[in-house]
Structure 1
Amino acid sequence: MAARIDVLVLGFANLVADGISMGFGDYVSSKSEKDVATRERRVIEWDVTNQRNPQVRELLQQYQALGMDESDANTVVSIFSKYKDILIDEKMVNEKATLPPDESEKPWKNGLVTFVSFLAFGCAPLLAFIVLHPFTKNDTLKFIGACVLSALALALLGIARAKIAGQNYAFSAVITVFNGVIAGAAAYFLGWALRNITGVED
């Protein structure tokens, strides 16, 4: 009994630790991406401010290289050149293949959402053991309950992903559950193999 409690405690501790790692990683990634975009924009802003005509000509050549005829390219660039911020953003996209920095984006929010989401979906298998514990001592039933809750959590994750990406809900849910099954099976059988190799007993 004590061993099972230890496993649950370690499971939750590992879940929180992984969640912190994932959340912090998302924060660092988002902040780095925003910092790079901000730096690139400053460079282009300096170029546009101090070398406006060459920058306008470069943008004109880029549009022509994309297949726009000279007259239309001149029209578009002449309009953009009236608005400094728009011209800078266009040059960022065309020259640096970088989207302008979104000032409303908060990297810490991205990290927090990742952390909370990781905990919410990751605790499903552990919750099954806790919820079912007062009703049964059968570990097989608890394991099945953990599998069912995990599948439901993965299906919800797939549906949420489909809603954001505009994809088919059912297909996304099935793919996400399938991915979870493969990952879970790999972890389970790896643990089973290591247990048998090392001769560890309950």
Structure 2
Amino acid sequence: MALEASPPLLRPQHEENGGGVGREGFWSEDSVKSAIDAGLDAIVTSFSLISSISATRLASVDVLVLGFANLVARGISMGFGDFVSTSTENEMAKKERATTEQDVSKSISSQQAGLLSTYQALGLDLEDATTVVNVFSKYQDILVDEKMTAQKGVLPPRQTEKPWKSGLISFAAFILFGNVPLLSFVVLIPFTGDDSTKFFGACLLSALALALLGLARAKISGQYLHSVAATLFNGGIAATCAYLIGWMLRNAAGLHDQTKGH
């Protein structure tokens, strides 16, 4: 009876082509991670650029033009990079799975012996390891996946992980969150012409967005305080370095005189 109860427990891993909801829907865990990572990168990149431009005392229009241009270019690059990375990972996993499947088909007994040794090395006693291997051996697909994971350290290919989806999510998240720091230079136009005030507003918006994404990341990791603090620290360090570099270029590399000429 125990053996018959095992297949239903494993079945969700092999029913990924059926649309699915939750983890296997459009917003799977991998999709959420891609969106969060792209959003964090976008905010830090955009705010760092604003910091370096503000340090050189360039006008708000320079911030907007350079900021939007940088976001689009980086967003396309990130989206395409995510697409290529996911495609390559899936192709490598499929190739490795085909090779492993051939190995299992040719010599299932040696594959069982290899898994048995692997499980014993992980701490299972001989009886338990033998039971696990015997159960997996009844289902060749599961045996192949298990050999890939346990012996080769390669995850089986995920049919629901579409490369175009990963690239699209990364691009959209980068553009969306990257615009948050720039909002201050747009929203405050009717109220003030002071670039310092707009920069301060960008600081607040960036900190808020980073904190929210830190909370979103914590929903996965479970470490709320650490996740928010680490996210804000990362953004703060990057922005500070960008500001200092811009300030040094302006005052030590001759850009000070150029900005005055404008």
Q: TM-score, normalised by structure 2?
A: 0.72
- Alignment RMSD, CA only? 1.6
Structure 2 unmatched runs, 5+ = 1-57
Q: 1:125 corresponds to which letter in structure 2?
A: P
- 2:73 aligned partner: 17
Question: What is the CA deviation profile of residues 144-187 of structure 1, one whole-angstrom value per residue up to 9, with x for unaligned ones?
Answer: 1111111111111111111122222x432222112111100100
Question: What is the CA deviation profile of residues 120-167 of structure 1, one whole-angstrom value per residue up to 9, with x for unaligned ones?
Answer: 221122111011011111111111111111111111111111112222
How many residue pairs were aligned? 200
Distance 1:186 1:7 in 2: 17
Deviation at 1:21, TM superposition (A): 1.0
Decide whether the 8 Å contact of 2:60 with 2:185 is kept in 1.
no
Equivalent of 2:222, from 157, 160, 166? 166
Equivalent of 1:110, from 118, 142, 166? 166
Equivalent of 1:184, from 239, 252, 255? 239
Task: Go from structure 1 to structure 2 and tell me whether the alpha carbon gap of 1:103 and 1:86 turns closer, same or farther (over 3 Å shift).
Answer: same
Q: Report the identity percentage.
A: 58
Deviation at 1:111, TM superposition (A): 1.5
Q: Which has the higher contact order (CA 8 A, sep 6+)?
A: 2
1:157 aligns with 2:213: yes
Distance 2:223 2:76 in 1: 29
- 1:82 aligned partner: 138
Structure 1 unmatched runs, 5+ = none
Distance 2:123 2:216 in 1: 39
Equivalent of 2:177, from 112, 121, 125? 121
Decide whether the 8 Å contact of 1:121 with 1:154 is kept in 2.
no
Distance 1:65 1:175 in 2: 36
Q: TM-score, normalised by structure 1?
A: 0.92
Deviation at 1:3, TM superposition (A): 5.2
